[in-house]
Amino acid sequence: MSEAREFKYVGTRSIRPDGFDKVTGRANYAADLDLPGMIWGRILRSPHAHARITRLDTTRAEALPGVMGVATFKDFPAVSTEEFQSGEGSTALNDLARNILADDKVLYHGHAVCAIAATSEALAEQALDLIDIEYDVLPPVMDVADAMKDDAPLLHEDMFTEGLEEKPSKPSNIALRFELKKGDIEQGFKEADLVIEREFYTPTVHQGYIEPHACTVRYDNAGTSMVYCSTQGHFDVRAATAKLLDMELGKIKVVPSEIGGGFGGKTTIYLEPVAMILSQKSGRPVKMVMDRDEVFMASGPGSATRNWVKIGAKKDGTLVAMQARLCYEAGAFPGSPMRPGVMTVFTPYDIENAFVEGYDVVVNKPKVAAYRAPGAPQSEFACEMLINEIARELDMDPIDLRLKNAAREGTQTLYGPKLKKVGLVECLEAVKASDHYRSALKENQGRGVAAGFWFNIGGPSSVSINMNPDGTAILIEGNPDIGGSRASMQLMAAETLQLPLDDVKPLVGDTDVLAYSGATGGSRTTFATGMATIQAAEDIVRQFKERAASTWNVTPEQVEYANGTVTNTAGDDSMTVAEICAGADRTGGHISGRGNINARGAGPSFAVHLADVECDAETGRCWVVRYTACQDAGKAIHPSYVEGQYQGGAAQGIGWALNEEYIYNEDGRLENPGFLDYRIPLASDLPMIETIIVEVPNDFHPFGVRGVGESGIIPPLAAVGDAVAGAAKINVTELPLSPPRVLKAIAEGASA
Amino acid sequence: MKTHVTTTINGEEVEFLCEPHETLLDALRNHVGLTGTKEGCGSGDCGACSVTVDGELVCSCLVLAPEAEGKSIGTIEGIADHDKLHVIQEKFLEHAALQCGICTPGLIVSTKALLEENPNPTEEEARYYLAGNLCRCTGYDKIIRAVLDAAETMKGAA
Ligand code: FES
Ligand code: FES
């Protein structure tokens, strides 16, 4: 890659091609499709956190006029324990099935038990009341620490901890133990002048996408069944639905709607197979839409964690040993993002001696789903809080301490590879040089800084570009556009095709029109699908040259292509793209290009955030007064949407730090399944979020792209956490820093 | 027994049948075919369903459909003049004030109401007025910039 490359479109702030539809209400989201003859499905959910179902009788419900189908776990053909990969995680198929509809036990408040389809939503709801169900209520386990105790009630009697040297003799709620180490941790701590250790708690949080899960499904016995839904990965919805229902993959078409937010939470499935069963039974298309409380109770939360971290440093600030024990709640079934938590926790630091162990633990809460940089915010929060404490103890500037130990090109990571070129140092320096960092704080204010690391992923992406006879291009990608990806594909395609931006029309294709593409997740789309786009466009440019060359009877090497025109270097002929495309049937048929890749070489993205927080000591309320988010984009294809990712990640992280948490009562019932009580940041809660885009190119992408979607949610937890500690003059070890918690800490500090 | 409702939506007279307990949001989406108005919560907490009733900004999930009788309803579909976007819509696009776009119809309807009430809002006034419209994607920065820029532009044009 040539670093000095001049771009015409890449790096500009174009108007997104799907914008018109989205500001006029024309764009169709998951709940916006009705089909002729369509009926509605609703789900009966468990009122208990942990119980055995002793009786389930739907006779009375089925007798209600207008009820057309019932689905329970028994409608799943026997599903295997095979691991199913989707988005950023994997789940055993039978766990996926038992999460979608409970088998003999319900494992969390809101766990789906039975579904009914009827001619109207209200009627389906009414029929749910006629289901006769009885439970034998069991004691719930609601916290990772309790769940790990020897005498804890068991969620799954057949679950034995994996990853131990010897197979345990007793079942446990601990699904997996995983560790990574390098160097000699004990020796490292011996060399330290200062050693600090602390345990941190982070609560269960929700991705909080504004669009609830929804789908419309039509089963077709003879032909192709159709699933219309909001998902980050429609190819994965197809695969999961086929496996769970033992249907042929090729006989399911998944059409992705516009997606109203996902943040990882829409990389899995909940409603789609249920609607398929109901459609099969009723012979009618079935629509299902979750209510907001269902979204909170039974979809996607992010893991609560208890993470203990111990760090040793020399007097001069050199970090010599880092150790952690990370305990992640998986919810009702194994599969928390503990592993990436372990892998990322210390990656911002070049450290010789490190030891990290992690535990994946089931509790009576909804099965967790990926949430933006899954697992990393929790573990890195703990590390970054301690790093700031060490800086204070050593009387060092927290950015200088980080610069002294920063991971850079060649640093050996704990999780495996040596880092290639990365931009952590550049981010730290940019924040240090910012006006914000040099500004003074007012009374009752505190300032916190934190770094964040996320790997980013590549993976399979497919793109095809079809040239129209007028010389315009249709670009089909397989990645739902969750935050402006059509805009960035359009920019990269126009750049490579050297055609006007408006001549490239990007679309998101369904599973029938394109080869497999991995989900929009892992910050992979601009990187991997971008590479497929560039490849498809290069394929087209090659054909432009071939077609012109064959017209002029010269070799393709004798022609040149620039700005929409092919010229003959051996003569003075030239042809525009419009002419080539109009005459394509005379030179071998119309032109299309393909990019089908499994992208390697994803470039990690480091972020550094700076937060100023003010505290009202009387009420305990803390709020952010100034915020800067700095991150390495590699190359910002569309700077506005890159900034948007930084700002959105920061806002979610701020919410996580200050307000957001699942609140359960002692019976394990969720008490705040709504936006009123699960309070995500409002416009009035936040200041402008200043952004600094650092560009240290990723050499593995033709334009230098790294992904930017995820790292931005990592640093806010500790940046805000540390700022609150300063503003309120308290020790911070637990999130969220909601008024009651801060007030209590202030009171304890005063009495201590 | 269904209720027959005659109302005006975006300047056009519309009739529909609904259950008496149905919300205006459900009627718009399911009986009138105007799916631009979104449902994020159904409980008045997210603003995705914002519409105006006789010029007043409301959450359509909190209004019963029969209450629309004889009223004038304004939805996202009525903001642009055919293909000509309203300044607010243009500014949302220019400032990249949407990522997923699910909150956008509600925010645009609310912004229009804000600027009708207060053509010259400060950043703080805009933030408080729009506090009922949740956006999970953007962190609001670009939304607020779009709103203030739209106000500026509309003042200039007036
Ligand atoms: S759907 Fe009406 S306020 Fe959320
Ligand atoms: S743009 Fe996604 S919720 Fe606002």
Residue with tokens 């479109």: A9
For B46, the closest of A22, A32, A675 (CB atoms) is A675
Alpha-carbon distance of B128 to B121, in angstroms, equals 10
| pLDDT score of A570 | 86
CB–CB contacts below 8 A, A to B: 182
CB contact under 8 A, A23 and B135: no
Q: List pLDDT tens digits, range A98-131.
A: 999 999 999 999 999 999 999 999 999 999 999 9
Q: Does residue B78 sit at the A interface (CB-CB below 8 Å)?
A: no
**Rg for chain B, CA atoms, rounded:** 16
Token couple for A607: 């972020």
Q: List pLDDT tens digits, range A54-104.
A: 999 999 999 999 999 999 999 999 877 888 876 667 788 999 999 999 999
A647 chain-B contacts, CB cut-off 8 A: 138-139, 141-142
With cut-offs at 50, 70 and 90, classify the pLDDT of residue A2: very low
Select from 3.90.1170.50, 3.40.640.10, 3.40.50.300, 3.10.105.10 the CATH code of A33-138+211-260+266-298: 3.90.1170.50
- pLDDT at residue A1 is higher than 70: no
With cut-offs at 50, 70 and 90, classify the pLDDT of residue A4: low
B59 lines ligand 1 (CB under 6 A): yes
Q: List pLDDT tens digits, range A636-688.
A: 999 999 999 999 999 999 999 999 999 999 999 999 999 999 999 999 999 99
Alpha-carbon distance of A707 to A684, in angstroms, equals 29
B122 chain-A contacts, CB cut-off 8 A: none
B65 chain-A contacts, CB cut-off 8 A: none
For A210, the closest of B35, B102, B126 (CB atoms) is B102
CB contact under 8 A, A261 and B137: yes
With cut-offs at 50, 70 and 90, classify the pLDDT of residue B88: very high
Ligand nearest to the backbone CA of B39: 1
Across B104-123, average pLDDT = 98
User: C-alpha angle with apex B11: B8 to B15, nearest 5 degrees?
Assistant: 30
Q: Domain coordinates of chain A in residue numbers?
A: 19-26+458-599, 33-138+211-260+266-298, 305-456+603-751
Ligand 1 centroid to Cα of residue B150, in Å, is: 25
Indicate the range of A78-82, A312-316, B79-83 predicted with least confidence. A78-82
Indicate if ipTM > 0.90. Answer: yes
Please give the full DSSP string across A465-522, using - where no structure is assigned. Answer: EEE-TTS-EEEEESS--SSSHHHHHHHHHHHHHT--GGGEEEEE--TTTS-----S-T
Task: From A735, A673, A740, A744, select the one nearest A199 (Cα to Cα).
Answer: A735
Q: List pLDDT tens digits, range A575-607.
A: 999 999 999 999 999 999 999 999 998 999 999
**Chain B residue closest to A35 (CA)?**
B30
What structural domains and CATH numbers belong to chain B?
3-78 (3.10.20.30), 87-157 (1.10.150.120)
CB contact under 8 A, B76 and A651: no
Cβ count within 10 A of residue A378: 35
As beta bridge partners, residue A436 has none
Residue with tokens 């007798």: A63
| pLDDT score of A667 | 97
Q: List pLDDT tens digits, range A484-502.
A: 999 999 999 999 999 999 9
| pLDDT score of A5 | 80
Q: Minimal Cα–Cα distance from B125 to chain A, Å?
A: 9
Spatial CB neighbours of A77, under 8 Å, sequence gap ≥ 6: A245, A246
Give the CATH number of domain A19-26+458-599.
Answer: 3.30.365.10
| pLDDT score of A78 | 80
Q: In the predicted model, what is the mean pLDDT of chain A?
A: 96
B44 lines ligand 1 (CB under 6 A): yes
Architecture of domain A305-456+603-751: 2-Layer Sandwich (3.30)
Answer with the residue of higher pLDDT: B80 or A87. Answer: B80
Ligand nearest to the backbone CA of B46: 1
| Domains A19-26+458-599 and A305-456+603-751 fall in the same CATH topology | yes
Cβ count within 10 A of residue B94: 18
SS3 A92: strand
Q: Does residue B62 sit at the A interface (CB-CB below 8 Å)?
A: no
**Chain B residue closest to A689 (CA)?**
B141
Token couple for A347: 């990656």
Alpha-carbon distance of A462 to A466, in angstroms, equals 13
Q: List pLDDT tens digits, range A354-388.
A: 999 999 999 999 999 999 999 999 999 999 999 99
Cβ count within 10 A of residue A409: 12
